[in-house]
Amino acid sequence: MTDQSQFMLSNGLRVITAPMNNLPSATVLVMIGAGSRYENKNKAGLSHFLEHMIFKGTRKRPSAFEISSLVDSVGGQNNAFTSKDHTGYFIKLQKNHLELAFDLLSDTLKNSLFAPEEIERERGTILEEINMYEDTPMYDIDEVFYNLMFDGHPLGWSVAGDKKTVGSIVREDFMKYCDRFYQGSDMVLAVAGGVREEKILKLAEKYFSSFTRGEKEKMVEFKENQAKPRLKIKYKQTDQCHLYLGYPSFSFFDKDKVALAVLGAILGGGMSSRLFIEVRERRGLAYYVKAVSDLHHETGYFAARAGVNIGKAHEAVKVILDEFGKVKKGEVKQEELNKAKEYLKGHVALDLEDSLEVALWYGRKQLLQEETETPQEMFAKIDKVTLEDVNRVAKRVLVKEKVNLAMIGPLKEEEKFLELIS
């Protein structure tokens, strides 16, 4: 498994190097500790819009074509992503072209032009992206659930924003956002693949030491105070009902997060998990069904999500609740626990065969939690999870009064579903 080393530039920017022996390629990833939860309501979607604009031209390379041509000329890949609490930009390429990735990423993150004509073009692209998600209930259900779980808080807003807010964003908004967030003290540079630490240190100093240090802004914390079950149905003519059934959980700093991950694997982590067997295999109620968990600085959630037969949505919700109830009662066997732990470790091991996944592993942990946990350390924590741990975390999280059900489909029986979860 990949070892790593880290150091810090004088401007506070953290650098992580994760060599992967004999790999001919490398990933250079820059992560910034800001995402949609740091936005103002009237500019929701700004973080995501900015991510789209970064590769659209700089003073040195004025057009998107020049930037993409450079990446293509070495057979590389460049992309980016935005989440609730961080944004990432990466280039993956042959290791002998490593300096090009440093040059391009530092240039685009520091010197983007945000040309008005490019803003207008990309605005249209993002509006179509929003349309795509709204037309795809399997994706849109994420937004419905987040809005239900974190109602009134930035965590509940769509990362992409909405058509009105995206339509209001102008060049000055990008400039101010970069000044606020794109700074050394809240950035992590993670490089994984066929790399050497000495070379990465030199390239990091050369291309990233010019970023100002700055200071990380405080976020608006979410205060969980749910006292009764909640339901949100988005009426839409579909051939399948998409749903989330979930509960508030806790921060990614919480020691129970590993036991929660094991619980998730037991309930919905594979084709032999409890939810897959009961909901899909034995009853034919769904095509997909899985357990999902998302943790933030101060809060999180644990849920089951599924795409189910519209006429049997009530039955599907009941089956999911029944499976949650069984694990809460302590019906998990040692053999089942052992299988779930090996499932989790196996998936991590397979993911970390890829340099991008390795860079993301170390980059996210350092940026968000200020820790550099190795896969081996994670595996050791998984191995230590006991049946008592799983039972305790199930009772802690699966609280009847705190259940949330979000659904998309041609459904009108709100009272029927609310009664079911109450």
Rounded CA-CA distance 86/37 in Å is 9
Which tokens sit at 422? Answer: 């109450």
The predicted model gives 183-209 an average pLDDT of 97
Spacing of C-alpha 145 from chain mean position: 15
The pLDDT of residue 3 is 77
pLDDT per residue over 26-85, tens digit each? Answer: 999 999 999 999 999 999 999 999 999 999 999 999 999 999 999 999 999 999 999 999
Task: Give the residue among 47, 55, 147 at the shortest CA–CA distance from 105.
Answer: 55
Asked whether the beta carbons of 372 and 16 are under 8 A apart, the reply is yes
Task: Give the residue among 182, 192, 180 at the shortest CA–CA distance from 32.
Answer: 182
The predicted model gives 303-307 an average pLDDT of 98
Task: Give the residue among 140, 122, 152 at the shortest CA–CA distance from 56.
Answer: 122
The predicted model gives 82-98 an average pLDDT of 98
Protein fold of 5-208: Cytochrome Bc1 Complex; Chain A, domain 1 (3.30.830)
The edge-to-edge listing of strands for the beta sheet with 5-8 is 5-8, 14-19, 187-193, 25-32, 87-94, 77-82
The predicted model gives 212-232 an average pLDDT of 95
Q: pTM of the full predicted structure?
A: 0.96
Q: Is the pLDDT of residue 301 over 80?
A: yes
Q: Is the pLDDT of residue 302 over 60?
A: yes
Query: Hey, which residues does 303 pair with through a beta bridge?
Result: 246, 292
Percent of the chain topping pLDDT 70 = 100
Task: Give the residue among 101, 10, 104 at the shortest CA–CA distance from 56.
Answer: 104
Q: What is the CATH number of domain 230-421?
A: 3.30.830.10
The predicted model gives 374-395 an average pLDDT of 97
The pLDDT of residue 13 is 98
Asked whether the beta carbons of 31 and 206 are under 8 A apart, the reply is no
Rounded CA-CA distance 294/321 in Å is 19
pLDDT per residue over 99-110, tens digit each? Answer: 999 999 999 999
The predicted model gives 277-292 an average pLDDT of 97
Active site amino acids = 51
The pLDDT of residue 2 is 62
Computed on alpha carbons and rounded to an integer, the radius of gyration of the chain in Å comes to 23
Please tell me what DSSP assigns to residue 319: H
**No. of H helices and E strands in the chain?**
16, 11
In the chain, ranges of CATH 3.30.830.10 domains: 5-208, 230-421
Q: Is the pLDDT of residue 240 over 60?
A: yes
Asked whether the beta carbons of 36 and 84 are under 8 A apart, the reply is yes
The predicted model gives 396-413 an average pLDDT of 97
The pLDDT of residue 209 is 97
